[in-house]
Structure 1
Amino acid sequence: MNEPRDTRIKRLRMRSMRRGIKEMDLILSAYADATLDGMSDSDLDTYDSLLQENDQDLYQWVTGQDTPPESLAPLIHEISQTFQK
């Protein structure tokens, strides 16, 4: 997919705020608003793959109730730090 960067960021923002679990809507939309514009393309790829994950799993990872997959651990840590502020 050869999606323009601004279109991709808009799509990721929308997917961040329409998760299904209200807590994840709030956490991810706040994170997306604060960080997506400054992310590299590689970081956007990682965030896009994170959005493919199940909300229940994401919530447990972000809140420290379960260990995230190694590939997503740095991003989950960053999101959880943002969430805790």
Structure 2
Amino acid sequence: MLSSRGYRGDAPDDTRVDLIEIPLPPWVERTDEPIDTKRRRLLYESRKRGMLENCILLSIFAKRYLHTMTYSQLQQYDRLINEPSNDWDIYYWATEAYPTPEVYQGEVMEMLKEFTKNKNHEQRLDAPSLDYLDEEKQ
């Protein structure tokens, strides 16, 4: 299918695999990142996802749990939200539609699965406002 300008978006020498699989750089664990910087980065990355469902789910989860997570838990969360190349995978694991691969199983994944069940029937229609960050500084 061509755009209105006649451009398809692929290069003449692209193979079918090139058109289907977009290569992404591998996730690299940040080992000497200060914990406060890690929390702020993970909060941002929880809010800016490739699909709205995860933007909402992960941003509310991050608001509730990031400030109390240990460094080890933050590392697990970092790997979970940044290593998989497909946001749908994270969503399916959190909702337990698909089994979670062993590498992502752990305390944080279990927390996310429980949070996703929404046993208290909270209204989760939008990512939380960032106003609470200003309140924490005071």
TM-score norm. by structure 2 comes to 0.57
- Determine if the alignment matches structure 1 residue 65 to structure 2 residue 104: no
* Matching residue of 2:117: 84
Give 1:62 shift. 0.9
Identity, in percent, stands at 33
Q: Does the residue aligned with 2:114 lie in a helix, a strand or coil?
A: helix
Give 1:61 shift. 0.6
Stretches of structure 2 lacking an aligned partner (at least 5 in a row): 1-29, 119-138
Of residues 50, 64, 72 in structure 2, which corresponds to 1:20? 50
Provide the aligned length of Structure 1 versus Structure 2: 85
Stretches of structure 1 lacking an aligned partner (at least 5 in a row): none
CA RMSD of aligned residues (A): 1.3
Q: Which has the higher helix share?
A: 1
- Determine if the alignment matches structure 1 residue 55 to structure 2 residue 87: yes
TM-score norm. by structure 1 comes to 0.89
Of residues 46, 59, 63 in structure 1, which corresponds to 2:76? 46
Cα distance in 1 for partners of 2:109, 2:72 equals 15
Cα distance in 2 for partners of 1:34, 1:23 equals 17
Cα distance in 1 for partners of 2:110, 2:97 equals 12
Runs of 4+ in 1 over 3 A off after TM superposition: none
Give 1:73 shift. 2.3
Rg comparison, structure with higher value: 2
Cα distance in 2 for partners of 1:83, 1:47 equals 15
